């Protein structure tokens, strides 16, 4: 949820490259100013109302903006007026670079048709079943068309696995917070209060918009495709869907006659994809620190407990017994090679200090918080090592572990570096916001005390990650622009020096794109996991 300065710039860059300057301008306005009603956006962006409206429609279609209604405050009129505000969804904008990762997950678990369905949903933002079928048929090369049944069956599979969901309410009503609900922060910096308030609003809007659990992953399909037109008991008379359809009527993709029937709109459930990526990251971390056996056992524990996971950023998994873990382990091919004792030994290994798994009464649960924090620390320490050197790396690790103020002398003694050199490094780290410094004056002597503040630093590192991601993006675009003729060279012309240049460009592209993906993993580690 944290939007740093460069985070906003990066998000705006993504919207610009996907949807153009106009839409990006509206999006930037919302990201910087927070949720706004239409007329305010028009005023700030100095665009026409039609332009802003269309931009909002595009952003809503692609799940980058959520609309909601609130009571208009002020005025002594008898009936409170309601106004519609628009909230930019920073997280969903960032997900747009991860579509290939999401599709990779689907291709591992399902067949090609499922991958196509999800690809369509990601490309178009949201689709009805009818549109999904049409799209599947239009891209199909052979003569046989893909039947509605096949599509429906595959869609079912995806919904059951929670990778696809019903779209949220288009304009949920947000009641003003009551006295009890308001965060109890009477004192505190004004800026901190604003941040907390904006995060609170975003969470409340999303909570208000998301359909009830039963409906969100309900398998009932559209009434227009049902021959007997049965009504669904779970579905509430969703006037909002109808309202939204009128608003969206200008979108060429959406069939306006569908507005009459209550058609279900489907979209990819980002939450589930992020959860899966988080799990994968934990497994890989454990594999790197311990071994394959431990990774297989952890993977099994995740599989067994994932349905119980409430939110993505959960700190620990539900407790499992050795038997239930073993049952899950032998379900996979690799796991079948493991004996019960083997699994037991891996659990002991996982729960031995520093523990990735906690044990209580013969039940084991994964300590996500620990695994994620260890991975985050490793990333930051790596930056400090490469940017400032080995002594700085030691200093940073010392201060991170100490989590309190330490004096220069104490630091220099512990790391076995001369005081003068230590002071130089400390100053550099402090100037670049990696450390906090405090001066203590005792008589005539001045002491310098240093500290790592993880919360502050993690946000700073995240901002640097966004900055780097933006830089990578801009540079790759620049390189391709510079070498446009080579990029567009037809195959038969790629000979001699041209061929070398082409190969060089290809290498550059591969390096940049893999770096972008790796960096995005780091962004998820600090932002989403």
How many C-alpha atoms does 53 have within 13 Å on its Cβ side? Answer: 11
Instruction: Give me the residue label for tokens 């939204």.
Output: 244
Stretch that binds another protein, among 82-90, 119-127, 201-209, 392-400 (CB under 8 A): 392-400
CB of 280 vs another protein, minimal distance in Å = 15
Instruction: Give me the residue label for tokens 């279900």.
Output: 264
Q: Should residue 259 be labelled a site residue for another protein when binding is judged by CB under 8 A?
A: no
Write out the binding residues for another protein, residues 487-506 only, by CB under 8 A. Answer: 504
The CA-to-CA distance between both ends of the chain, in Å, stands at 11
Give the residue among 92, 84, 85, 88 at the shortest CA–CA distance from 30: 88
Q: Should residue 521 be labelled a site residue for another protein when binding is judged by CB under 8 A?
A: yes
Write out the binding residues for another protein, residues 261-290 only, by CB under 8 A. Answer: 288
Stretch that binds another protein, among 67-75, 80-88, 242-250, 464-472 (CB under 8 A): 464-472
Write out the binding residues for another protein, residues 431-450 only, by CB under 8 A. Answer: 432
CB of 475 vs another protein, minimal distance in Å = 4
Contact between residue 321 and residue 363 where contact means Cβ atoms under 8 Å apart = yes
Q: Should residue 349 be labelled a site residue for another protein when binding is judged by CB under 8 A?
A: yes
Q: Should residue 21 be labelled a site residue for another protein when binding is judged by CB under 8 A?
A: no
**What is the rounded distance in angstroms from the CA atom of residue 220 to the CA atom of residue 166?**
10
**What is the rounded distance in angstroms from the CA atom of residue 126 to the CA atom of residue 238?**
17
Write out the binding residues for another protein, residues 79-138 only, by CB under 8 A. Answer: none
165/520 with CB nearer another protein: 520
3-class SS shares of the chain: helix, strand, coil, % to 5: 60, 10, 30
Q: Is 436 helix (H, G, I), strand (E, B) or coil?
A: strand
242: enclosing H helix or E strand? helix 239-247
Q: Should residue 418 be labelled a site residue for another protein when binding is judged by CB under 8 A?
A: yes
Write out the two tokens for 97: 């670079």
221/346 with CB nearer another protein: 346
**What is the rounded distance in angstroms from the CA atom of residue 193 to the CA atom of residue 206?**
20
Q: Which of 38, 161, 468, 487 binds another protein (CB under 8 A)?
A: 468
Q: What number of chain residues touch another protein (CB under 8 A)?
A: 49
CB of 14 vs another protein, minimal distance in Å = 14
Q: Should residue 459 be labelled a site residue for another protein when binding is judged by CB under 8 A?
A: no
Stretch that binds another protein, among 101-109, 141-149, 214-222, 507-515 (CB under 8 A): 507-515
CB of 119 vs another protein, minimal distance in Å = 26
Stretch that binds another protein, among 75-83, 121-129, 382-390, 435-443 (CB under 8 A): 382-390
Q: What is the DSSP string of 141-193?
A: -SSPPPPHHHHHHHHHHHHHTTSEEEPPPSS-B-PPP-TTTS---SSS-HHHH
Contact between residue 198 and residue 33 where contact means Cβ atoms under 8 Å apart = no
Q: Should residue 417 be labelled a site residue for another protein when binding is judged by CB under 8 A?
A: yes
Write out the two tokens for 330: 């032998």
Q: Which of 190, 336, 404, 518 binds another protein (CB under 8 A)?
A: 518
393: enclosing H helix or E strand? helix 390-402
Write out the binding residues for another protein, residues 352-381 only, by CB under 8 A. Answer: 352-354, 378-381
Give the residue among 119, 127, 120 at the shortest CA–CA distance from 101: 119
Residues found near another protein in the complex (CB under 8 A): 288, 348-349, 351-354, 378-383, 385-387, 390, 393-394, 397-398, 414-418, 432, 461, 464-465, 467-468, 470-472, 474-475, 478-479, 504, 507-508, 511-512, 515, 518-519, 521-522
């Amino acid at each position: 949820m944290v939007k740093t300065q460069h985070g906003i710039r990066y998000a705006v860059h993504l919207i610009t490259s996907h949807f153009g300057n106009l839409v990006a301008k509206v999006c930037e306005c919302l990201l910087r100013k927070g949720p706004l009603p239409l007329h305010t956006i028009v005023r700030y962006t100095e665009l026409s109302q039609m332009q802003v409206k269309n931009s909002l429609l595009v952003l809503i279609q692609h799940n980058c903006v959520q609309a909601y209604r609130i009571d208009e405050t002020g005025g002594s009129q008898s009936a409170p007026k309601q106004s519609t505000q628009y909230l930019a969804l920073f997280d969903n904008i960032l997900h747009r670079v991860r579509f290939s990762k999401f599709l990779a997950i689907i291709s591992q678990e399902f067949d090609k048709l499922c991958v196509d369905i999800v690809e369509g949903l990601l490309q178009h933002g949201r689709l009805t079943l009818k549109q999904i079928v049409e799209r599947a048929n239009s891209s199909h090369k052979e003569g046989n068309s893909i039947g509605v049944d096949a599509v429906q069956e595959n869609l079912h599979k995806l919904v059951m696995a929670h990778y696809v969901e019903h779209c949220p309410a288009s304009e949920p009503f947000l009641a003003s917070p009551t006295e009890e609900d308001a965060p109890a922060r009477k004192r505190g910096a004004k800026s901190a209060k604003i941040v907390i308030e904006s995060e609170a609003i975003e969470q409340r809007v999303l909570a208000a918009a998301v359909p009830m659990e039963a409906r969100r992953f309900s398998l009932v399909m559209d009434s227009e495709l049902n021959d007997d037109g049965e009504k669904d008991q779970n579905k509430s008379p969703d006037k909002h869907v109808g309202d939204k359809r009128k608003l969206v009527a200008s979108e060429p993709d959406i069939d306006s006659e569908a507005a009459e029937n209550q058609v279900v709109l489907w979209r990819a459930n980002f939450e589930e994809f992020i959860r899966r990526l988080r799990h994968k990251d934990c497994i890989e971390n454990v594999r790197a620190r311990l071994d394959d056996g431990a990774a297989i056992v952890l993977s099994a524990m995740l599989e067994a407990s994932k349905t119980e996971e409430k939110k993505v950023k959960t700190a620990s998994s539900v407790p499992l017994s050795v038997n239930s873990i073993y049952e899950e382990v032998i379900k996979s091919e690799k796991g079948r090679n493991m004996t019960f004792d083997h699994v037991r030994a891996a659990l002991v290994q996982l729960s031995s200090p520093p523990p990735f798994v906690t044990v209580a009464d013969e039940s084991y649960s994964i300590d996500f918080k620990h695994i994620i924090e260890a991975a985050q620390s490793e990333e930051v320490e790596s930056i400090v090592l490469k940017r400032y050197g080995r002594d700085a790396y030691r200093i940073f690790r010392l201060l991170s572990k100490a989590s309190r103020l330490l004096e220069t002398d104490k630091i220099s003694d512990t790391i076995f570096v001369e005081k003068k050199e230590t002071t130089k490094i400390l100053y550099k780290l402090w100037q670049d916001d990696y450390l906090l410094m405090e001066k203590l004056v005792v008589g005539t002597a001045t002491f310098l005390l240093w500290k790592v503040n993880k919360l502050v630093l993690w946000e700073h590192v995240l901002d640097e990650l966004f900055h780097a991601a933006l830089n990578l993006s801009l540079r790759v675009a620049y390189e391709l622009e510079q070498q446009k003729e080579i990029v567009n060279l037809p195959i038969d012309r790629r000979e001699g020096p041209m061929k070398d240049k082409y190969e060089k460009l290809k290498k550059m592209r591969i390096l940049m794109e893999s770096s972008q993906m790796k960096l995005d993993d780091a962004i998820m580690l600090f932002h989403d996991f």
